[in-house]
């Protein structure tokens, strides 16, 4: 999920709608978009959801499975490589 305002700002191409199921039986419809991203030298073509409510970016396993992510809680750092 990506904040909707960012997708609108870059004029991402809209795909349609998708139902989002949230814990607690809360459901809503979200805009979906085609997007190409590059992270740690890996380019991926994705279908992403625009989040109207939050200002956070959520990366799922469809992206993370292609990367090595190292979390260092003591140093408060995240290292991403391919």
Name the pTM for this structure: 0.73
**CA–CA dist 70, 28 (Å, integer):** 33
User: Per residue of the chain (82 residues), what is the pLDDT tens digit?
Assistant: 899 999 999 999 999 999 888 777 788 888 999 999 888 888 999 999 998 888 888 888 888 888 899 999 999 999 988 8
Contacting residues for 12 by C-beta, under 8 A, at least 6 apart: 33, 34, 35, 48
Residue 40 contacts residue 80 (beta carbons within 8 Å): yes
Rounded to a whole number of angstroms, the distance between the first and last alpha carbons of the chain is 21
């Amino acid at each position: 999920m990506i904040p909707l305002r960012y997708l609108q700002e870059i004029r991402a191409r809209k795909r349609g709608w998708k139902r989002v199921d949230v814990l607690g039986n809360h459901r809503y419809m979200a805009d979906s978009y085609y997007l190409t991203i590059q992270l740690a030298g890996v380019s991926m073509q994705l279908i992403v959801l625009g989040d109207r409510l939050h200002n956070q970016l959520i990366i799922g396993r469809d992206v993370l499975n292609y990367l090595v992510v190292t979390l260092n809680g003591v140093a408060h750092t995240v290292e991403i490589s391919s």
